[in-house]
Amino acid sequence: MPVCENCNYKWTYGQTTIEQLRLRKGMRCPNCHEKQYSTKKSQAIDVIISLVLIFTLVTVKNMDQPSLINIFLYAVGIFTVQQLVRPFITSLSNTKTTL
């Protein structure tokens, strides 16, 4: 779980998930309310996981004529797995960094 760099508050799974689903540029610490940003390492791991999951989706799509419903369910499953894992790989920083 991420830890606030300002006050060393360890975020809970629920707090991290909610903040990540809000799709903002930064995440506000629930304890000190300072804005925190994902580190480069955290962003890179997230991109790698996304690419692996997209690659597997393309592979499933190209298999022996899967139905559109199967592809849709697989895509929803991929999104769900990614969202469940993201709080564990997220680390925070006071400074905004980009890949």
Number of other residues whose CB lies within 10 A of the CB of residue 78: 18
Q: What is the pLDDT of residue 13?
A: 92
Summarize pLDDT for 67-79 with one digit per residue, the tens. Answer: 778 778 877 888 8
Angle between helices 40-61 and 68-89 (to 10 degrees): 160
CA-wise closest residue to 87 among 9, 18, 8, 6: 18
Cβ atoms < 10 Å from Cβ of 50: 13
92-93: strand order across its sheet: 27-28, 35-38, 92-93
* pLDDT value, residue 98: 77
Q: Is 63's pLDDT higher than 80?
A: no
Per-residue pLDDT, 8: 92
Dump pLDDT digits (tens) for 6-62: 899 999 999 988 888 887 788 889 999 999 998 899 889 888 888 888 887 777 767
